Structure 1
């Protein structure tokens, strides 16, 4: 039995959860490590291991998957024959059906899905939280051990200023159902051609602009997509171009500060993460001209 405060590896969490759920995890391969640790199992199951204390988030993900599929938006599906979430210590493990041979969505496919998502009537069977863009952000900046103190001071000042600018925004439209992490890799397309939504833990009630800003900064600040691809995204969404909204830059700066904080939070774990964090900080401080190139972590 796991004792309170005991730290065990994600591989051990998987092994213990698999034993409890009677899932064969032999030969499991770690495919991602971030807010969730994700393993692919050889029997067509994907295990998502949540952070400590995130049991309710895991429960909500399962409910959201069922609800969205019932409302015409296809998502990754939970493995029906496994009781879940499975809990090891205070870390929940959810089990999902593998989506083989898929590609990231095009900007147009992402825009179409978001247009449909944002028109849904919120669920009545369970509550959706309000989107909270600053949750955990200050803590990540304060606790990152491997960043320069001058950089930390600048980032914390930027955090305070962005909170004030955000509070001063006139609400654009009433909150709607949003994905909360809407980028092309979270909408994948298998050979069937029907896009499938992934990573449901941030689905919430919030401004639609939060779902539009990620692809927009890919276009304006990183040039990861072309003019034609961005115009296709705008057209598929219904013609609304978030980059023309008066408060676009506020949301863009908040989103980029979150990406900086993520890299900073991992900077003490590897030299590559530390180097990437330093580069991202230099970018947002104006020391590197746009378009920027940031490496995934």
Structure 2
């Protein structure tokens, strides 16, 4: 059974349990999490096993943002908790109007509003930027032993650096994965999406996502980055702790590519190993022009 077929089977069970119709359900994205479009402008989100607490937190964060008048995708009112379907948490959301992904200038005002909010009475926990990295390194089958050990040593060094970051902005609620794909822009409104990694942490972590797009990937232009900094009011690249957060993000997206390379070497090995060579300082200075993976 393919991942899509397995996901569809879970969707049918979830809809049967909730009384929602799955007639003509269309896959939006089948990845680590699966999104399905249902009738009546409803979207089902099927998460990985073991993610029930994260799914419940996503629902709570979305409702809290709505109460704070921050535009965000909203869950169905009558389904207050994730549904457990064979160990997979399933949540249901209102579909947004037709939209495009966000740009750096779309993201900045939303992040500023989010970071200024009082901390809610939701068990958010503190950001762990290293989640799943050790497992991804261990499972990266395209690595040789020397490359794997380098990544393990790099992870250890960055964990140490993270524990002693210099003083920055005050801890706040952060999105955790603040890139353009997690902002949906309609003709009238920009909405935040995907609260799987929302937590307490340094606001600089959210800002670093766009800074890495600019300085590492080369996908954010000079003018776009300047507009992002102007809209938010801070240039995170000027902060003394920026290089630590940048290096952690670069390690994360390299390990993400290596995970894909293990599953499909023909498609993803070249990009994953290009990224690895870059963070090992073997491919010249940034930006490195990394290509999207996924």
Verify same fold: TM over 0.5.
yes
Deviation of 1:61 after TM superposition, in Å, equals: 0.8
Pairing partner for 1:221 from 210, 216, 221: 216
For residues 90 and 96 of structure 1, the distance between their equivalents in structure 2, rounded to whole angstroms, comes to 20
Secondary structure of residue in 2 paired with 1:94? strand
User: Partners of 2:241 and 2:80 in 1: how far apart?
Assistant: 44
The alpha-carbon deviation at position 224 of structure 1 amounts to 1.0
Q: Residues of 1 paired with 2:206 and 2:178: CA distance?
A: 5
Q: Provide the residue aligned with 2:116 in structure 1.
A: 119
Are 2:228 and 1:260 aligned? Answer: no
User: Given that residues 59 and 80 in structure 2 are in contact (C-alpha distance below 8 angstroms), is that contact kept between their aligned partners in structure 1?
Assistant: no
Where does structure 1 lack aligned partners over 5 or more consecutive residues?
1-7
2:246 maps to 1:249:
no
Q: Note closer, same or farther for the CA distance 1:265–1:94 as it changes in structure 2 (3 Å cut).
A: same
1:120-139 correspondence runs (5 A):
120-124=117-121, 126-139=122-135
Determine the C-alpha separation between the residues in 2 that align with 1:18 and 1:278: 41
Instruction: Count the aligned residue pairs.
Output: 287
TM-superposed CA distance for 1:248, in Å, is: 0.9
SS in 1 for 2:112: helix
- Shift, 1:83, TM fit: 5.8
Relative to structure 1, is the Cα distance of residues 26 and 273 closer, same or farther in structure 2, using a 3 angstrom cutoff?
Answer: farther
Unaligned runs of 5+ in 2: none
> Which residue of 223, 231, 239 corresponds with 1:236?
231
| 2:70 equivalent in structure 1 | 73
Q: TM (normalized to structure 2)?
A: 0.91
Please state how far the C-alpha of 1:81 moved relative to its aligned partner.
4.5
1:99 pairs with one of 90, 96, 121: 96
- The answer (yes or no) to whether the contact 1:109–1:236 under 8 Å persists in 2 is no
Shift of 1:111: 0.9
1:28 deviates by: 2.3
Q: Which residue of 2 aligns with 1:151?
A: 147
Aligned pair 1:273/2:262, yes or no? no
Instruction: State the alpha-carbon separation in 2 of the partners of residues 176 and 278 from structure 1.
Output: 35
How high is the TM-score relative to the length of structure 1?
A: 0.91
